[in-house]
Structure 1
C-alpha cells in the first residue's frame, strides 16, 4: 500500500503493545451458522478471531500484514487460523470463499483513499453473494481535541480527519458520506454507535455497520 499506509514498522514495534476494544455485536453473529467461514481482516493479535472461536464458530481465519501481531495471534488463539498477507490487500482466498467478514478498527489505520477502496473491493470479492460484513470504525469525532488535530494535520496529509498520533501511527477518521460511498456495493442491514476506548486509551465513539454483499 502507498505511504502513509505502509506502517508495518509501527505495527511490528510500538503497535504490538496496543489493546483494541471495539466489541463484537453478539446479536449480529446470531445470523451466522456456527460452521460459516469467517474472515477477520486486519486481525492484529487475534482478539476478535479468538472471541468468534470461543462462541463456537469452527472456521475462523484472521489475516494481517504485520508478522509480530500474527505470531502472537497464533500463540494465543489456537482455535483460529492466522495468515500473513503476502500481497495486501489480497487474501489469496477464492471468490466467494467466506460467508462473513469482520473489519474492526482497520480503516482508521489505512489513511489513503485508493488503499481503502482496494481493501473493500477485496472483501467484496471474497464474500459470497449475501455474505455479511461487520465494520467497526470511527467517524469524525466532535470533541475539541480531535477537531484541533484534524486541522493541524490537514495540510500535511491532504485530508481533514487524517492525523498522526504522538507515538507515530497515522490514522484516519471518516465522514459518513465517505463510508457510504466506500461500501456502495453492499446493502445496509443494521447499524449502531457506541462508546469505545481507542488503542491509546482515549474515549471515542465508534460506528458499527452490518452490511450484506449485493
Structure 2
C-alpha cells in the first residue's frame, strides 16, 4: 500500500473539484494568539485557511501535494500563502516553525500505517514546544454499505479494516478512534469531540476531532 500515500493522480484530477466540509471549532483556539504561526497541512484549496484568516489569524500557511488544488486555492484567495509539497510528508521548514498545525481530513487519504506515522512525526517536528496539533478525520461508520466495503477491501488486498475505494477512484480509510489516539501518543491530548460531516462525495458521515499539545 505504499503507493497509496499520496494518490497524486486522483487529487490532481477528480479530487481537485471536490468540496471539503470538516468544521473548525474556534472555541479550541480562543486562547491562541492571532499572530501565531499556523500551518494547514493538506490545505486543499484553502477553505480552512480562509476561515482562520477571517477569524484574525494573520500568519497562516498552507501546503498540499496537489498542484491542481493549490492552483485553485491561489485563484480563490491570492492573498493567502500556498505551497506545493514536493516530497510529502517532508516539509521545507526548520524544526519548531509553527505554533499550530491543522490536519483536516488528511489521514483518511493516507491508508498506509507507516505513511500516517511518518506524517505525524513530521508535523510534531515542525511544531514548537507547547504548540497545538488539531486533527479532524473520519471514524469507522456503522452502516451496512460501509461495513461491506471495509470487509471486501480488507479481504481482497489485506489492508487494515476501514480502508475502501470510492466510486470515483480514491482509496480512503476510516479509523477506529484508538488508531487516531495512538498516532498522537507523543502528544498530550487536550480535547476530543465527535462531529457529523458531509464527505467529498456527499455522504453524511461520522468524524472525530482531537486537539493535542506538544510537550
What TM-score range do you get, normalising by the shorter chain?
A: over 0.9
Q: 5+ residue gaps in structure 1?
A: none
Contact kept? 1:70, 1:84, Cα under 8 Å: yes
Aligned to 2:149: 149
SS at match of 2:133: strand
| Residue 174, structure 1, aligned to residue 172, structure 2 | no
With the length of structure 1 as denominator, give the TM-score of the two structures. 0.97
CA distance in 1, matches of 2:79, 2:63: 14
**Which structure 1 residue ranges, 4+ long, deviate > 2 Å from structure 2?**
none
Partner SS for 2:39: strand
Aligned to 2:135: 135
Structure 2 counterpart of 1:93: 93
Question: Following superposition of structure 1 onto structure 2, how do residues 23-42 of structure 1 map, counting pairs within 5 Å?
Answer: 23-42=23-42
Q: 1:157 to 1:98 in 2, by over 3 A?
A: same
In the alignment, what sits opposite 2:14?
Answer: 14
Counterpart mapping for 1:43-62 below 5 A: 43-62=43-62
> Do 1:163 and 1:170's aligned partners in 2 also have CA atoms closer than 8 Å?
yes
For residues 100 and 92 of structure 2, the distance between their equivalents in structure 1, rounded to whole angstroms, comes to: 16
Which residue is 1:165 aligned to? Answer: 166
SS for the counterpart of 1:3 is helix
CA distance in 1, matches of 2:37, 2:158: 37
1:45-124 alignment runs, 5 A limit: 45-124=45-124
Q: Deviations over 1:61-120 (max 9, x none)?
A: 000001000011112123320111112101111100000010000000000111000100
Q: How many residues align?
A: 214
Name structure 2 gaps, 5 residues minimum.
none
Confirm or deny: 8 A CA contact 1:157 1:163 kept in the other structure.
no
Please list the CA deviations of residues 149-202 of structure 1 after superposition, one character each: whole Å capped at 9, or x if unmatched: 101111224211000000000000111221121110110101110111011000
